[in-house]
Amino acid sequence: MKSPLDDALTSINLEASYKDANIALIHGDCRDILKKIPATKNVVIISDPPYGIKWVHNSNPRPIIGDDAPFDPSHLLGFKCVLFGGQHYHTYLPLLGSWIIWDKRCSHKGGRKACNIGPCHTNHIGDYEDIWLSFHAHRTIFRNYWDGWIKATESGIKRIHPTQKPVALMRWLIESYTTPEDLIIDPYAGSCATLLAARSLGRYAIGIELDAQYIAPSVDRLSTPLECPILSKL
Ligand X SMILES: C[S@@+](CC[C@H](N)C(=O)[O-])C[C@H]1O[C@@H](n2cnc3c(N)ncnc32)[C@H](O)[C@@H]1O
**Rg, C-alpha atoms of the chain:** 17
| Of the candidate residues 31, 105, 108, 121, the single one contacting ligand X (CB under 6 A) | 31
Residues 161-200 binding ligand X (CB under 6 A) are 161, 163-165, 187-188, 190-191, 193
Cβ–Cβ < 8 Å for 130, 82? no
Pick the binder of ligand X from 197, 208, 222, 228 (CB under 6 A): 208
CA–CA separation, 225 and 76 (whole Å): 31
Containing 221, the helix (H) or strand (E) segment is helix 215-223
Sheet harboring 18-19: ordered strands across? Answer: 18-19, 23-27, 204-209, 183-186, 43-47, 80-84, 128-133, 98-103, 141-143
The residue nearest ligand X at its CB is 190
Q: Does 145 bind ligand X (CB under 6 A)?
A: no
Binding to ligand X by CB under 6 A, coded x per residue (else -) over 66-105, reads: x---------------------------------------
Residues of this chain that bind ligand X (CB under 6 A): 29-31, 48-50, 64-66, 161, 163-165, 187-188, 190-191, 193, 208-211, 214
